Amino acid sequence: MVGTPPELERGTGVPAHVQIERWLLESISSGEMAPGDRLPGERELAGRLGVSRMTLRQALATLERDGVLIRVPGRSGGAFVAEPRIECDLTGLAGFTEQMRRAHLRAEARILVAATVPAPGAVARALEVAAGSPVHEVARVRSAGRTPVALERSYFPDLPGLLGQDLTGSLYALLAARYDLEPRTAVEHLDPVTARPAEAAELGIEPGTPLMLIERTAYAADGTPVEYARDLFRPDRVRISVRSGVTAPFTAPFTTPGAS
């Protein structure tokens, strides 16, 4: 439960709604408020803070936008502390299972599709096979802490026996161990999309909810394409990051004084 609100400082140049945001963030980071805790109603909390409901709503809207709070409409609704987002680093081509291990969470998979299908055009181009050639399609709902966070749809070359393997764990580990096709590099594209009804139902969200699409083609060490995937992530539960660096120092071209 939220503790005693601070006395807001006036005339400091820091708007009241920003001070409220900072107080709530500190309450959450200190453990005073935990995921799932409900804030007092707007009228009560605004009165305790000595601000208008409009000012309070401005603070709550910012925290909701940043994924700190979830606001649920209706009589039994309110503002709730959200589960912290899971950090997924795309830099090292770690699969979902490895990403969850790093976050100290158990990765789970519910298989929706595991079938051999004719390769659609985009899949055929990515895997460098003829359109209509047999490829393996595997679609899974990935969960962390029993909460659905991603909907994965991957296509693989027509590898013998692939669909007979355990498909609930790391598929990258399976490619490496059974087929000596460990993914080593990938080209990935990120696009914001909205959830269609079927996708929303699998992820436990409302249709039209924003999602992050990651389209990926992964390659083995010799350049052989081994996976084409379209993964949908819930941005309220997953934060995507990429590390970058300068591989060589930048040197400005030398210009002789007075030269044009």
**pTM, rounded to two decimals:** 0.69
Residue 85 pLDDT: 73
Q: Which CATH superfamily is domain 86-241 in?
A: Chorismate lyase-like (3.40.1410.10)
pLDDT class for 101, splitting at 50, 70, 90? low
**Across the chain, what does the average pLDDT equal?**
86
In order, the DSSP letters of 18-87 are HHHHHHHHHHHHTTSS-TTPBPPPHHHHHHHHTS-HHHHHHHHHHHHHTTSEEEE-STT-EEEEPPPPEE
Tell me the mean pLDDT in the region 77-100.
73
**222 contacts 185 by C-beta, under 8 angstroms:** no
**Higher model confidence: residue 160 or residue 5?**
160
Distance, in Å, from the CA atom of 169 to the CA atom of 162, rounded to the nearest integer, reads: 13
E-strand ranges in the chain read 69-72, 78-81, 86-89, 107-118, 134-144, 147-156, 185-194, 210-219, 225-233, 238-241
Distance, in Å, from the CA atom of 4 to the CA atom of 1, rounded to the nearest integer, reads: 10
Phi, psi (degrees; rounded to nearest 5) at 214: -115, 115
Residue 91 pLDDT: 65
**Higher model confidence: residue 158 or residue 258?**
158
Indicate if the alpha-carbon torsion angle 71, 82, 97, 92 is positive or negative. positive
Structurally, what CATH architecture does the domain formed by 16-81 represent?
Answer: Orthogonal Bundle (1.10)
34-79 confidence digits (pLDDT tens): 888 899 889 999 999 999 999 999 999 998 887 788 888 777 778 8
Residue 12 pLDDT: 80
Residue 100 pLDDT: 67
Distance of CA 28 to the CA centre of its chain: 21
**170 contacts 178 by C-beta, under 8 angstroms:** no
Place of tokens 């601070």: 6
Distance, in Å, from the CA atom of 1 to the CA atom of 123, rounded to the nearest integer, reads: 50
**244 contacts 213 by C-beta, under 8 angstroms:** no
pLDDT class for 3, splitting at 50, 70, 90? low
**Higher model confidence: residue 200 or residue 248?**
200
pLDDT class for 247, splitting at 50, 70, 90? low
Highest mean pLDDT among 133-147, 152-166, 229-243: 152-166
Residue 260 pLDDT: 41
**Higher model confidence: residue 27 or residue 254?**
27
Name the residue ranges covered by the structural domains of the chain.
16-81, 86-241
